[in-house]
Structure 1
Amino acid sequence: MVIAEENEGQGERETDRWPDIPGDTAFTIKIPEADPLVRAEFPAHVTVLYPFVHESRIDAQVHRELSGLFAKHDSFVLTFAEFDRYPGVLYLDPRPHDPVKSLTVDLTQRWPELVPYRGLFGAGLDPHLTVANGEGPATQDAAYDALQAELAPLLPLRCHVHAVQLIVWDGERWRDRIEYPLARASTPGRAGPHQMR
């Protein structure tokens, strides 16, 4: 789910280029308001950090640290008003970038062994929400021009971000595991992580 977006449109399966093993984890921000726009095979999201530590390392102490880390960040609003592209990928550019990047920085400062996107993109990628990623170099311009024209009237989207999701690769798909609230979340009583079913 998190990483198919970087598949360069060569017809590869999501896991062909990514050495994910069951128990691998990542942090994402769900953007359900954008689900109707997404043509990729995963829900709308913005990646905060891929990969995080293996699930086997996430004990009660790590949960407490994560809860405290995310609670130091205020909830925020992302606006999706413009499209952009990576090779083979059409995405929405979330603005501002800073709140998402700040979350990533705090995680990687606390766990310095973590390298965003396993180092495949240098320092990483700017925050983005993948809309489509199934086209190759020969077809992407025409296909994504048409898709942008179709979806542009639905923009801008303003999305309130109150939490970050820890997701886990089970060998077949990414599954929600725990939601970590940010500070000043609008839902009362969200003081700690909540198990997701």
Structure 2
Amino acid sequence: MTGNADTDGGGWPDVDGDTALTVKVPEADPLVRAGAPAHITVLYPFLHVSRVDARVHGELGELFGAHDPFEVSLGEFGRYPGVLFLHPLPGDPVRALTREVTGRWPEAEPYRGVFGGGLEPHLTVAITELPDGGGPVPGGPEPLDVLAAELAPALPVTARITTVHLIVREGTGWRDHTAYSLGRPPSRTTSRTPSSRRGSPYGLSSASAAGSRSAGTDW
């Protein structure tokens, strides 16, 4: 995801009203230089926010509630062009969530098809180039090889994942909208005051309605 709005809804950058489903990994926040909370994307983009009604929230709550919480270990760096990321192991629990959501809403194509069938689960640490020929990130981080060497002593990072977040693109930033608990039936709606923060081109995080509980920090 990027900082500007797209008018036709195709490819990059982000579109106002986009939503995404992510899991936050606050234990990895000290390592991240990507301008967003540490997270692993379940699906970006999901449905336009205008389509995310009470029925959709209820279905998401039931879907995620049927999956148990899980633990991940982040101990190895990987690279996409212009991107440094961490591999979450095991990755199967995240893949399972993605498969279920895209199976229920097949029109929600991962990354709008820019990366074919999508990307493997990853936690973005830093970005020096925007995807799809978008050029360098203004004021981007130091060279990725140097950054990886600096951060390596802090690995591995382990985290327990208990929540999936729906987030919404508004203007030039993303905001938390709803949080869905893993391994629990839906609870009543909890709303929160929005705020925004610049997001990352390779992933996202959170939203508020039936099947949800109070969301975490905004982007």
Please give the range of the TM-score, normalised by the shorter of the 2 chains: 0.7 to 0.9
Secondary structure of the corresponding residue to residue 149 of structure 1: helix
**How far has the Cα of 1:26 moved from its partner?**
0.5
Q: Which amino acid aligns with 1:129?
A: L
Distance 2:164 2:158 in 1: 17
Partner SS state of residue 20, structure 2:
strand
Tell me if the contact between 1:40 and 1:134 (Cα under 8 Å) persists in the aligned partners.
Answer: no
Once the 2 structures are TM-superposed, how far is the Cα of residue 15 of structure 1 from its aligned partner?
Answer: 5.4
Aligned-pair CA distance for 1:62: 1.1
- TM-score under structure 2 length normalisation: 0.75
2:57 touches 2:211 (CA, 8 Å); kept in 1?
no
Partner of 1:175: 175
From 187, 192, 195, the equivalent of 2:211 is 192
**One-letter amino acid of the structure 1 residue matched with residue 50 of structure 2:** S
Instruction: Say if 2:181 is the partner of 1:162.
Output: no
Equivalent position of 2:203 in the other structure: none
1:19 positional shift: 4.2
Return the offset for 1:192: 3.5
Quote the residue 1:71 is aligned against: 65
Q: Aligned with 2:143: secondary structure? A: helix
1:25 paired to 2:15: no
Matched residue, 2:28: 34
Task: Read off the aligned partner of 2:43 and give its amino acid letter.
Answer: L
Distance in structure 1 (CA, Å) of the matches to 2:159 and 2:39: 11
1:62 matches 2:56: yes
Q: Which runs of 5+ in 2 are unaligned?
A: 130-135, 186-209
Aligned equivalents of 1:21, 1:89: Cα separation in 2: 21
Q: Cα offset for 1:40? A: 1.3
Identical-pair percentage: 56
Shift of 1:155: 0.5
- Distance in structure 2 (CA, Å) of the matches to 1:55 and 1:146: 39
Count matched residues: 179
1:153: which partner in 2?
153
2:99 partner amino acid: V
User: Which whole-Å CA distance do the structure 2 matches of 1:180 and 1:119 have between them?
Assistant: 26
Structure 1 position 21, deviation (Å): 2.5
Deviations 1:27-49 (A, max 9, x none): 01101111110111111111100
Instruction: Give the letter for the 1:154 counterpart.
Output: A
Aligned match for 1:44, one of 30, 38, 47: 38
| 1:66–1:180 contact (8 Å) kept in structure 2 | yes
Which structure: greater helix fraction?
Answer: 1
* Structure 1 unmatched runs, 5+: 5-12, 186-190
CA distance in 1, matches of 2:163, 2:80: 27
CA deviations over 1:58-92 (Å, ceiling 9, x no partner)? 11111111110001111000100000100000001
Q: 1:15 to 1:80 in 2, by over 3 A?
A: farther
Residue in structure 1 matched with residue 96 of structure 2 by the alignment: 102
AA aligned opposite 1:167: I
The answer to whether 1:126 aligns with 2:117 is: no
- The 1:93–1:53 alpha-carbon spacing in structure 2 relative to 1, beyond 3 Å, is same
